[in-house]
Structure 1
Amino acid sequence: MAGGLLLIWDEGVFQVDQRYKGERWLCVEGVLTKTNFRCAFCLVYGAHGREAKRGVWEELSYVAGLCQIPFCFLGDFNEILQVEDRKGATSLMASSEEFKEWVRDIQLIDLPLTDRKYTWFRGHSCSRIDRVMVNVEWTEVFPDIRIKGGPRGLSDHCPVIMELTRVTGPPRPFRSLDAWFTHEGFLRMVKDEWRSLGETQFPCKLRALAIQLRQWHKDNFRDMDKRLMRFEEELTKLDNSVSDGVYDGTTEARRKALVSFCSKWYIRKEMHWKQMSRSKHAANMDRNTRYFHNIASARRRNNRIDALMLHGRLVRNQARIKGAIRGFYKDLYRQEYVPRIGIRDGLVKCIHRDEAEALEVMPTDEEIKEAVWDCESSKAPGSDGFNMNFIKKCWDDIGPEFTAAVMGFFQSAKLPKDVNVTWVTLAPNLKVQRR
């Protein structure tokens, strides 16, 4: 650390009102002017010895507790978090395990590096010791936050660049939400739309219904946080009125209504983020919306492809990346030669007549319903975006129109070519006749 630490900022972007410093860290607390987001940045240069590292981590824990706001640690920590962070490593050293425990205790999220594995190079040695870590409150405001490495130049280290701007991607595919069923008019709306679609084929009706559900979602479920904030502000105003001595029957009725609205939207928000997180522990977890929000945001960050190596060159253009991925899978699944194999070649074993008849028996209503209910509610095996919870809810609540459509689809003599795999692979014991 011969050169020391330097932390600079643009006052037009970040207004600082508090400064803290230690031997191996600098911290500023203030407000991002564009979003009015109050936060703190702490630049770190980690120690080399194990005992010295412990001292630095204790100081950082104290600073984070002192600020009590969304926090961002960034810099050279001189330590790895996992074996993959160091080339050739097979296990974590004791100091690395302690660093990992400190990150977990202080509840920090280590942001993944999107375009490279390591940030420090010396000879044949490579490690990822430069990192950016934020707390959950930070990711709630900037769910699309990401970091990437800059050119190393003459230094041993790559600069780490953090981007807070929202990444615009393609339109998100349709997905049915379990929280919709908490709305009093949802099933009635679905029933009316289903009837208005007439006698169209079942997969076509689902596609048409998805268009209406997108619009309904925008009208009734968009901006859940803003709705909750508005209700909470109204409750605060009522509390202030009561404190000033203004209280009557109207005030009490208004408060009960607002509390009821808040309760509904808290439940909807929890259900939404549980579903988005796809957490395997969701059924056994307490109502912790922040936890599920963090899982969903982390999965989006990790699944995003910001750069791709094509023919030895790093490509960041999204159009070229999409074209390369599409071309790869076209070549992968293209069948250049179709072997002609007949029954007489001995590869197909003849089955008995009773087995053949059993394969062609139409599934009964009971078998179809059993197959549907045997599927996990959160799963959507097909690409139409409707999970099995949506089908189960509509099965009984919408009425015979929906049930008859499902039954008729399975019991039809001929399946349409564009049939969604949701309805073909419901359960292994469900027989569907094909001609």
Structure 2
Amino acid sequence: MRGGPRGSSNYCPIILEDRRQSDGPRPFRSLDSCFTHEGFLRMVKEEWKGLGEAQFTDKLKAMIVPLERWHKDNFRDMDKKIMKFEEEIKKINDMVGDGVYDGTMEARRKALVTCCEKWYVRKELHWKQMSRSRHAKDIDKNTRYFHNLAFARRRNNRIDAFLINGRLIRNQARIKIAIRDFYKNLYHQEESPLVGFRDGLVEMIGEDDALALEVQPNPKEIKEAVWDCESCQVPGSDGYNMNFIKRCWIEIGSDFTAAVMDFFP
């Protein structure tokens, strides 16, 4: 166990390390923090166009290799990059404390602080996305912290008092009986009518309606369906989340739309 860098916070994180064996290669995940880099979308656009007329799913699979390579070249060892900026900022602060100061040094310090803040934002986005992964949830689901969260939610959802026929009831057993009887009466049915398929329950739709059900969705309808999805949800089996799809749709434009439409035979 060791303390981590404080950064822009007032507290230092505690890092607990164990000696578990590696679970093998990590699966690919599209990371939202990559979009904070100026050259990421440009790289994605160039790689996507270079794949030509391949199918949409095939393009996504082929994009995994350049995305992993780009992330390794630009986002590897974020902690070391942040530490390097902090060390340079500390050197300048020490020089200012010793009386050495000029405009160039101040401009250098501001540039270092800006870069350091960018990397802190990227790191925060990275760990926020990682915290939503199923793997992280499965590891921590039996810890005392998550049990306390579950107990707190249970307390908040608890019904301590109930108004029944103008009387305030606090007895938990009577509250349960009242709730059960309410829904029992609400969904109670004296007898079930016997309705057959020949009694008009099922009607054949017209030819126009049948053809309308088989019409392929247009780009506008597909885009509306994509934009209705949560951007930062956990990535699917292919490793891409909806934020990646939306950003590529905006930046790549017609080439990306055409590939999506080809996905629908």
| Alignment TM-score, normalising by the size of structure 1 | 0.42
Query: Which of 260, 276, 285 is the matching residue for 2:114?
Result: 260
Partners of 2:233 and 2:241 within 8 A in 1: yes
Confirm or deny that 1:359 pairs with 2:213: yes
Matching of residues 32-431 of structure 1 within 5 Å: 37=2, 137-138=13-14, 140-142=15-17, 164-278=18-132, 299=137, 301-302=139-140, 351-379=205-233, 382-410=236-264, 413=265
Q: Aligned partners of 1:366 and 1:276: how far apart in 2? A: 32
List runs of 5+ in structure 1 lacking aligned partners.
1-31, 39-135, 143-163, 280-295, 304-347, 414-435
Q: Aligned partners of 1:246 and 1:379: how far apart in 2? A: 50
Partners of 2:130 and 2:136 within 8 A in 1: no
Partners of 1:379 and 1:387 within 8 A in 2: yes
> 1:137-161 deviations in whole A, cap 9, x for unaligned?
44x242xxxxxxxxxxxxxxxxxxx
Q: Aligned partners of 1:223 and 1:300: how far apart in 2? A: 25
Q: How many equivalent pairs are there?
A: 198
Q: Aligned partners of 1:234 and 1:187: how far apart in 2? A: 30
Answer 1 or 2: higher relative contact order, Cα 8 Å, separation at least 6: 2
Aligned to 2:190: none
Q: Aligned partners of 1:405 and 1:359: how far apart in 2? A: 23
Aligned to 1:430: none
> 1:382-419 deviations in whole A, cap 9, x for unaligned?
41111001111111122322122123323xx3xxxxxx
Residues 186, 361 of structure 1: alpha-carbon distance in 2 compared, 3 angstrom cutoff = same
List runs of 5+ in structure 2 lacking aligned partners.
4-11, 142-201
> 1:22-59 deviations in whole A, cap 9, x for unaligned?
xxxxxxxxxx8xxxx47xxxxxxxxxxxxxxxxxxxxx
| Cα drift, residue 379 of structure 1 | 2.8
| Alignment TM-score, normalising by the size of structure 2 | 0.68
Partners of 1:395 and 1:403 within 8 A in 2: yes
> 1:216-252 deviations in whole A, cap 9, x for unaligned?
1111111111111111111000001111121122211
SS of residue paired to 2:263: helix
Residues 229, 360 of structure 1: alpha-carbon distance in 2 compared, 3 angstrom cutoff = same
Q: Which protein is richer in helix relative to its size?
A: 2
| Cα drift, residue 378 of structure 1 | 1.9
Q: Which protein is richer in strand relative to its size?
A: 1
> 1:154-193 deviations in whole A, cap 9, x for unaligned?
xxxxxxxxxx214311212111011111000000000010
| Cα drift, residue 353 of structure 1 | 2.2
Aligned to 2:144: none
Residues 300, 265 of structure 1: alpha-carbon distance in 2 compared, 3 angstrom cutoff = farther
Q: Aligned partners of 1:228 and 1:176: how far apart in 2? A: 22
Residues 254, 297 of structure 1: alpha-carbon distance in 2 compared, 3 angstrom cutoff = farther
Letter in 2 for 1:233: E
Q: Give runs of ≥4 in structure 1 deviating > 6 Å.
A: none
| Cα drift, residue 261 of structure 1 | 0.4
Q: Aligned partners of 1:194 and 1:395: how far apart in 2? A: 11
Aligned CA RMSD, in angstroms, stands at 2.6
Letter in 1 for 2:246: K
Q: Aligned partners of 1:182 and 1:261: how far apart in 2? A: 12
Aligned to 1:130: none
| Cα drift, residue 381 of structure 1 | 6.5
| Cα drift, residue 263 of structure 1 | 1.0
Identity %: 62
